[in-house]
Amino acid sequence: MTSRAFPTLSTPAGPVPHDAPHWNRQRRSQMPSHRYLAPHDRVDVPLTERSWPSRRLTSAPLWVPVDLRDGNQALAEPMDPARKRRFFELMLAMGYKEIEVGYPSASRTDYDFVRLLAETGLAPDDVTVVVFTAARRDLIERTIDSVRGLRNPVVVHLYTATAPTWRDTVLGRTREELKELILSAGRDVLSLAGDLPHVRFEFSPEVFTLTEPDYVLELCDAMTTLWDASPERPVILNLPATVEIATPNVYADQIEYMHRNLARRDGVILSVHPHNDRGTGIACAELAVLAGAQRVEGCIFGNGERTGNVDIATLALNMHAQGIDPMIDFSDIDEIRRTVEHCNGIDVHARHPYVGDLVHTAFSGTHQDAIRKGFAEHRARAAADGVDERDQEWRVPYLPIDPADLGRSYDAVIRVNSQSGKGGIAYLLETGFGLELPRRLQIDLARRVQERSEAAGTEQTADDLWQIFAESYLTRGGGPELAHYRVDGGRTHVTVRVDGREHEHRSDAEGPVETLTAALAAAGITLEVLALHQTSIGTGADSDALTLLEYRDDRGIAWAAGRARSVLDASFAAVLRAAEGKAG
């Protein structure tokens, strides 16, 4: 594939000129963009004033997962009965109260699954079962047959494509002819199921986004009149972005136009069903709710034809991240993901919002440092306020929600590779081994870890980091030995063995570490201790002491470490590690 420049971008001041400076120069692409109409050339929404831009989301909409029907139709290998049942049980466990379970007139498996619900009581009484059908009498009859005996509330979902291209190319109908076809199907639904008290009706003008607003309003009002929509028995009008063709604000305008102009509005549940052709399905759904939609159909992780249905897990967790109860339980996100992957036979991308394996993981050094500091500040604020950390307001950089809300541990929040910095390395050593490293040692260790990561080309685990730390600062390779020491009150006596000869030093005024360095100096090994930092490895009574020593010798400033059961022995071990000249 040859390299091509992108088309000229437009700015509020106009298009960027082609004679702009070289860093901003662009040329026309070779793509035939002139073949495609702009949205306003396809559908002109007669809305001059809109209220949705100033509204705020305050509560969750009604959720309707369509994985078992719409999502299933998009699978290369549709779900067998066992996978369908497992997926259905997952949605019940998550708390969904309305579920589209299939297209019983189009598939024997779907028909049998609806019958399973009718005959076994698998669905709790408070869960509404939705079945989908095209506008043809024989298909409607089979659909109604499938739900007979269900004690649950039932929605019969009738759909027909209404956009001009579909009318002309697919259906071969005029506007009036198509309206009569839809009304005839509506009458069939009414005659077959209208007397059933637990059955309600739903109508979708498929490809709503490409249908003339006056025509779709005419169709919807005709259906609510036919089905006698009322607050006691509302009709669902579902307005799908079957094919995304415009920016999300255009879809919001279309929804607000319908919301404002529908007849029997108090007897209508206004629903949306966005697809994701332009990659903006989630934005379309959020703006549609602002524009008056009360119900959202989609798939849990966005599976569906082409680029998918709207991802209702992301929608719900977006609300959670804004302090709004999504009314659905995502507290075990990994189990949800495993089940969806098994049933669909499609892996969820590692960077998928909220659920992907890497969405809470930082490799970048600056991100890691900010997250580590954010965790520490969060703990400190919770302690100061006297509340549990899970109840404290969440303000941790780069993490819009607490991974623990989704059942995730913090183990994978920070991971280390060649792009990582001192903060991430320090975090993994602290969480994995209880080490608290001073800043200057973090910088020195980060350099060593980066060299190792770049050479290996792989991620470094907490165990890998500990190995690098130990090899760099802790492991002894020979050199001076501590032959004897005694600390008695304020007096210290130290004897060191260097090259087989013993050297001792006694002091009444110096501390044990100073006395040891003096003994080493007597043997010709001079080093200046700049700082000592005490920490431990692990927690509890069985943890070892770890001394981190910053020192200067004739080669410059470096670090060494010592590990022992006591703090004093660990400090002596750190000095001897520095004295052997292996830490620089």
Percentage of the chain lying above the pLDDT 70 cut: 91
Q: Of 565, 443, 460, 572, nearest to 520 (Cα)?
A: 572
For residues 486 and 469, membership in a common domain is answered with no
**pLDDT at residue 219, as a whole number:** 98
Contact criterion met (CB below 8 Å) for 307 and 319? no
Most confident of 6-10, 77-81, 365-369: 77-81
**pLDDT at residue 28, as a whole number:** 76
| Position 14 pLDDT exceeds 90 | no
Question: What is the average per-residue pLDDT within 72-97?
Answer: 96
Asked whether residue 22 is assigned to any structural domain, the reply reads no
| Position 477 pLDDT exceeds 80 | no
Last residue of one domain, picked from the residues 474, 502, 517: 474
**pLDDT at residue 18, as a whole number:** 57
Last residue of one domain, picked from the residues 423, 445, 474: 474
Per-residue pLDDT of 543-565, as tens digits, reads 889 999 988 887 778 899 999 98
State the CB neighbour count (10 A cutoff) for residue 101: 30
**pLDDT at residue 582, as a whole number:** 37
Q: What domain range is 494 assigned to? A: 481-579
For residues 489 and 550, membership in a common domain is answered with yes
Give the Cα-Cα-Cα angle 225, 229, 231 (nearest 5 degrees).
Answer: 150
For residues 235 and 373, membership in a common domain is answered with no
3-state SS assignment for residue 335:
helix
* CATH code for the domain of 108: 3.20.20.70
Six-digit token string for 480: 């001076």
Instruction: Share the mean pLDDT of the chain.
Output: 88
**pLDDT at residue 482, as a whole number:** 87
State the CB neighbour count (10 A cutoff) for residue 353: 17
For residues 313 and 434, membership in a common domain is answered with no
For residues 296 and 426, membership in a common domain is answered with no
* CATH code for the domain of 451: 1.10.287.1400
In this structure, of 225-239, 329-343, 369-383, 427-441, the range with the lowest mean pLDDT score is 427-441
For residues 336 and 409, membership in a common domain is answered with no
Per-residue pLDDT of 508-518, as tens digits, reads 767 888 888 88
Nearby residues of 115 by Cβ (< 8 Å), 6 or more positions away: 146
| Position 419 pLDDT exceeds 60 | no
Asked whether residue 29 is assigned to any structural domain, the reply reads no
For residues 319 and 412, membership in a common domain is answered with no
**pLDDT at residue 83, as a whole number:** 94
**pLDDT at residue 120, as a whole number:** 93
For residues 398 and 487, membership in a common domain is answered with no
Number of domains within the chain: 3
Rg (CA), the chain: 34
| Position 329 pLDDT exceeds 60 | yes
**pLDDT at residue 555, as a whole number:** 77
* CATH code for the domain of 531: 3.30.160.270
| Position 101 pLDDT exceeds 90 | yes
Residue with tokens 């007669």: 46
Per-residue pLDDT of 167-198, as tens digits, reads 999 999 999 999 999 999 999 999 999 888 89
Last residue of one domain, picked from the residues 417, 446, 474: 474
| Position 102 pLDDT exceeds 60 | yes
For residues 61 and 164, membership in a common domain is answered with yes
Per-residue pLDDT of 108-152, as tens digits, reads 999 999 999 999 989 999 999 999 999 999 999 999 999 999 999
Asked whether residue 453 is assigned to any structural domain, the reply reads yes
Contact criterion met (CB below 8 Å) for 284 and 248? yes
**pLDDT at residue 8, as a whole number:** 47
Asked whether residue 354 is assigned to any structural domain, the reply reads no
| Position 2 pLDDT exceeds 90 | no
**pLDDT at residue 333, as a whole number:** 92
Question: What is the average per-residue pLDDT within 293-319?
Answer: 97
Q: Helix, strand, coil % (nearest 5) of the chain?
A: 40, 20, 40
For residues 495 and 469, membership in a common domain is answered with no
How far, in Å, CA of 102 to CA of 238, rounded?
A: 17
> Per-residue b/e over 467-477, b at no fewer than 16 CB within 10 Å?
ebbeebbbeee
- In terms of DSSP H, where are the helices of 403-457? 422-433, 439-456
User: How buried is residue 49: exposed, middle or buried, by Cβ count under 10 Å (0-12/13-18/19+)?
Assistant: exposed
**pLDDT at residue 420, as a whole number:** 56
Asked whether residue 469 is assigned to any structural domain, the reply reads yes
| Position 575 pLDDT exceeds 50 | yes
Inter-residue long-range contacts of 348-353, CB under 8 Å, 24+ positions, other chains counted = 348/301, 352/301, 353/311, 353/314, 353/317
Asked whether residue 12 is assigned to any structural domain, the reply reads no
Six-digit token string for 158: 């009738």
Asked whether residue 466 is assigned to any structural domain, the reply reads yes
For residues 279 and 213, membership in a common domain is answered with yes
Task: Write the CA distances from 563 to 110, 288, 557, integer angstroms.
Answer: 65, 61, 21
For residues 451 and 529, membership in a common domain is answered with no
Per-residue pLDDT of 160-174, as tens digits, reads 999 999 999 999 999
Asked whether residue 39 is assigned to any structural domain, the reply reads no
How far, in Å, CA of 543 to CA of 244, rounded?
A: 60
Inter-residue long-range contacts of 382-387, CB under 8 Å, 24+ positions, other chains counted = none
**pLDDT at residue 1, as a whole number:** 44
pLDDT grade, residue 72 (50/70/90)?
very high
The amino acid at residue 389 is E
**pLDDT at residue 3, as a whole number:** 46
